Chain A
Amino acid sequence: MADLTGRGQRRAARYSAVALLRHGIGGGAWPRAWRTHEPKRSYQVVIVGGGVHGLATAYYLARNHGITDVAVLDKGYLGGGGSGRNTAIIRSNYLTPEGVRFYDRSLGMYERLAAELNYNVMFSRRGHLTLAHSDASLRTMRWRAEVNKLSGVDSDIADPDEVKRLVPFLDTSAGARYPILGALYHPPGGIIRHDAVVWGYARAADSLGVHLHQDTEVTGIDVVGGRVSGVRTNRGPIATGTVINCTAGWSTLVSALAGVRMPVQTFPLQAAVTEPVKPFLHTVVVSGTLHVYVSQTDRGELVFGASVDPFASYSTRGSLEFIEGLAGHVLELMPSLAQLRLLRQWAGLCDMTPDFAPIMGSTGVDGFLVDVGWGTYGFKAGPVAGEAMAECVATGRTPEIIAAFGLDRFEEGRLVAEKGAAAVGH
């Protein structure tokens, strides 16, 4: 645990019920969750992207490795990209043993995160159901269940009766157009308050001395002799020997600033939320065949998502086809929800890679690292990615847990085997 005194650190005010009581009685103001600084002219590490990945990396650099001369730059507000737009589902029921290990570590970190950051991120363990509507799909669920079990992760196949017991609102009858044949049931899966994760990491990183700079856009990356020497921003230049690209949607552009090419295509991913109703759905439900997933927040809103848009784009405007298709599929699963009203739709940008796995670690440019290509599964990996990238920077070596995700795997033809689970990957 890093030394909390001196070097620009400060002890963040402790959050607790007792503190709430004290403030309520005394009426005093809470201190800022994180401070604002003028950007320095140089930092040891510059992280581009102030979402969960960038902030977690900064936090673990400071906490695990004592590296606090770190700046996190975001061209907008913290968590304004994928971290603020995702549907906040956490799970580890992946297809490959490496994938399972990776996401399961993340799940465990999320479970402990509120206590670690002293910020309630509201992780709610709900159980995660991936419905199978065909025998091919059920076979893939079985494959995942077996791999999960062998890796010590709680997953198994549930038959239609069990599915109905878990989610009474589901139409599990044989008369449905695509009858439910069974499901992959993963009890440890759940949902979380995504903004709280961003704010929690931001506050904790700040208390350890990390500088957070919002509204700071990186406009250039200086590379001299094959090695990073600094970044240029709309608030002036910053000298540094280490730059980490933790952006989503814009990762190709940022990497291009350093002269690094990416095997990425950016697609919008849309989502929508309904008005709140009294809680009735206590499990996260995913259907690969119907390309839809549903969960209900503690506030009572249903959150919906589906697959990425059919064509690559940087537009987050959203489409009518998306909410029409989504509503149709949700009602096929749960026909009694017809009167529920959709309140808001939005979109984020997803960087899709050829093998549905991220790109992490070093690149051909010394000092320029990437933590990108997170497709539709980036948020659930925030903690483990941050921890691994921090280790990568601090030790100069690629940690075992992310060894399969190197950028060089594409030119070497060593793609990651998660393609099988990627039907609707949430």
Chain B
Amino acid sequence: MTMRLDRQPGEVIDRRVEFTFDWNGRTYPAHPGDTIASALAACGERIFSRSFKYHRPRGLLTASHLDPGCIVQVGDEPNVRGGHRLVHAGMQVRSQDTWPTLELDVKAANDLLGRFLPAGFYYKTFIHPRALWPSYERVLQRFAHGGVVSAEPPHPADRYDKRHVHPDVLVAGGGPAGMATAVAAARAGARVLLVEEEPALGGHLRWGRERELSALAELRDLVATTPGIEVLTDSVVLGRYDDNWVAVLQRGLPHVRERLVKARARSLVVAPGLIERPYVFAGNDVPGVLLSTAARRLVNLYAVRPGKRAVVLTANAEGDTAALDLERAGVEVVHVEDARRGGDVVRVLGRRGVQAVEVAGGDRIDCDLLVTAVGWTAPASLLTMAGDVPVYDRRAARFRPDPARLPDDVLPTGGIVGDGSLEQLVAHAEATGQEAARRARGETAVEITALPVEPHPALFHGRTHGIVDFSEDVSSKDLLTAVEEGYDSVELAKRYSTATMGPTQGKLEVVNVVAILAEATGRTIEQTGTTTWRPPYVPVTLGALAGRTREPKRCSPMQTWHQRHGAAPLVAGAWIRPDHYGDPAGEVRAVREHVGIIDVTPIGKLDLRGPDVPELLNLLYVNRWSKLGTGRVRYGVMCAEDGVVLDDGVTGRLDDEHYLMSTTSSGAASVWEWVERWLQTEHPDWRVHVTPVTTAYASINVAGPRSRDLLRRVVEEVDLAPETFPYMHVRRGRVAGVPGCVLWRIGFTGELSFELHVPAAYGLHVWETLLDQGRDLAVQPFGIEAQRILRLEKGHLIVGQDTDGMTRAFGASLDGLVRLDKDDFVGRPELVWQDQGRGHPRLVGLRTVDGSVVPAEGSQLVEDGGRICGRVTSSRMSPTLGRSICLAQVAAHLAEPGTEVTVRLTTGGTAAAIVAQQLAHVDPEGGRLRV
């Protein structure tokens, strides 16, 4: 049975086209421009959902985005606002959380138990017996009220993206005030972004009569023809953050699901209009009770007759007009209850739909529709996000913004500020637009004359208890109960009853909540205050907030080669590195026996130039650097001001005033900042220039007894003989024909090795040349895993693995390195005291008695039946020694070489282990390095 009306002058549906869609398994017709709610209402449907707790049948209330009665599942998308979402052909729509059907829902039994289940009832029960609480929980979870999220990954075509804009003036709200503001600002030379929540500009003019529709056409035309205005419809401002950083959610785009538009607006104009407030009384949630704006929207925008016989409760002009609109639409308006003359609605009778309305005076009037118009709420959230604290205006019976508390770059206009004729609203909006443009140019703020405020009766609740928060199923009785029990401030009552914490975010209900609480506590509304508005203004999808995920990967120039040759990828921060090429133990053997090459490009590298570089090195490293000769390299450790080890690396002197510092790969960026900090803030007088060259060079470590042989074939301009190029020296020359390379002899792996730093563009060329030239030397690439084993065999610590956030230098067994007799260096004071203390844990080499046992890294050392006295920090099976080797942090009293300790294995058993003489397990004298 159709409730569709004949053509209405302002209708937004396109009658030329008709299609069908699915609602709970049945097919329904619709036109382009229909929302899910309007299409179903046009077919006479009245029940769209069940309420949260009591599963009472619910119908339309606002017929807009805010409607709590029409939240539905569309395909795999939960919680869709049926009063806003446009319907399209083939759409599959279902009611949420109803079983077995919307019409016959078993949980409606809750409604009968209502008196035993007041707000907060769960705090008073399910306490005993404790063992049953998980079962109680499962029952409570069944009542979780919302749609269903699928586990299927999103369709690749489902995209979200983001956009940055820089408007001079951003106008939130495209009603008459918003449109007039935008035009005025643009005419004053501003770049304007106008954002409107509905699919078209116009606000309340859209569901008006001839006068409104003609004003609408004029304003729309002005917006379209005034240059400098960008309009986003079906879009909403989500929040205003510090310094007018504004987020806008743009919907309804053809090729992306949603777009997050981020704007640094010089001026923000807030023109959201007013939201109509529901009235609280018994039966106010029965399907067929509508707000006047809902009735007018249904009739005028969607050509839908909301019912057959209506009662209208009106306290203002909009309510009066709604009654006229209904009559025009063929609804029999049997009674108008005028609240300005003492009229009131006592209760609505009916459960699945309105059957009768009882009014003040006792009359019972049969009808199927009750329209209420009892007042307005200012949706001030954007203003409160900007620092406003709204003030309650008794005369107007609503909260209004306090202009004194707004920053200069935020201006309100329209209904939120005051009342008046359309002309007055437009005039105020124009003045606001001009002022917004002025302020965007940086001119001094000038106050705008306020709008008049018309008196309005204060109507929040009637004489019976009704629903206050529709989406949370909180009644006025629940609020009184909360107050009775002591949860009597707005915040406590809100949390206890959950009123305003549901999907409508408080917009429909907060003022009624405040009014009822005020009365219950004997305070005024002003004294009671209101809750804090928080972003987002409307619920926004995670997809829109995330946009397209951009997590860049950092790769060396040789990474493609590694991939092609079967390297297992290792995620190291943002870098992708080769972990191994299939046989890490074999790679270790290759390095120990002939020669291997490894890509170490992510190592941090800083180019330091200037006469004062040695001062810098002395300050930041724990050892001495004044006498480092040209061509020499030294290992250094950096500590923080509290003595904790920060980073380590080698630094070489390339020339008189030219050094190259290396850091760990994870420390590359932070050490650079650290160096700059000391230079800029503590020693601006030092002449040192720093250039980060981490990615300017590709770095390759050539290691193994045959590494010199290999390099002889590719290096020019450098004499590689051991007497001319000793251990811990640096040279510059050509490698594989590439000029400007740096080579130093260092020894992380414990074998004869050279680290090459090659201009990055030639990295791959050098890499491939080395492999090609070294074929008969059995050269092999080796990866990070093999390097870890090699360095562990040599006892080299890894900062952050063998040390942690508490390890000071002496705890990392760096005693030989630290020079306490040096001048001030970073960390010195604490290291002096640590040295004096001597009770700290130490880093030691460790070997399990049974060499086949390889303890997991992180295994704990225990004594006296379970007391922790250390942990294994590094652990591997050594291919060179054929047994397991470890590094461990141990308590001071166990750190003597030869001490036996107990390792608790992750399997639960234990293994005995002995503290080694030194950290290095292989070639502790370092003979192999120095050949």
Contacts and interface: CB of A to CB of B under 8 A. Distances in A.
Given A299-B144, A339-B76, A146 B153 contact: no
Interface in B344-403: 385
A320 B262 contact: yes
A142 B858 contact: yes
Contacts of A142: 856-859, 906
A150 interface: yes
A420 B805 contact: yes
B665 to A, nearest CB: 12
B542 A327 contact: yes
Contacts of B79: 275, 277, 341
Contacts of A280: 149, 151
B503 A124 contact: no
Given A139-B858, A142-B858, A277 B487 contact: no
B78 A340 contact: yes
B571 A178 contact: yes
Nearest to B124: A15
B137 A298 contact: yes
A24 B857 CA distance: 60
B225 interface: no
Given A114-B130, A119-B123, A133-B571, A344 B534 contact: yes
A337 interface: yes
B253 interface: no
B857 A278 contact: no
Interface in A153-193: 157, 168-169, 171, 177-179, 193
B547 interface: yes
Interface stretch (B238-246, B615-623, B628-636, B708-716): B238-246
A35 B486 CA distance: 7
Interface string A185-215: 0000000010110011000000000000010
Contacts of A276: 144-146, 503
B128 A300 contact: no
Interface residues of A, number: 103
B806 interface: yes
A34 B486 contact: yes
A17 interface: yes
B522 interface: no
Interface stretch (A237-245, A395-403, A411-419): A411-419
A348 B807 CA distance: 32
B144 A30 contact: no
Contacts of B160: 338
A84 B570 CA distance: 41
Interface in B129-171: 130, 133-134, 137, 140-141, 144-154, 158, 160
Nearest to A273: B501
Given A275-B539, A336-B151, A78 B485 contact: no
Contacts of A23: 116
A365 interface: no
A339 B541 contact: yes
Contacts of A342: 536, 539-542, 545
B449 interface: no
A200 B487 CA distance: 12
B116 A21 contact: yes
A164 to B, nearest CB: 11
Nearest to A179: B571
Contacts of A147: 860, 868
A275 B503 contact: yes
A29 interface: yes
Given A134-B572, A339-B78, A419 B805 contact: yes
Contacts of A135: 570
A120 B125 contact: yes
B564 interface: no
Given A21-B116, A280-B149, A345-B536, A331 B546 contact: yes
Contacts of B571: 133-134, 178-179
Contact of A328 (B151, B486, B545): B545
15 contacts: A15-B123, A20-B116, A119-B124, A149-B908, A150-B862, A171-B153, A177-B549, A298-B140, A315-B242, A317-B385, A320-B239, A320-B535, A335-B154, A338-B542, A341-B541
Given A27-B115, A324-B546, 15 more contacts: A35-B486, A36-B486, A142-B856, A142-B857, A143-B858, A146-B860, A178-B571, A193-B123, A274-B539, A280-B151, A319-B241, A328-B546, A330-B542, A337-B542, A338-B542
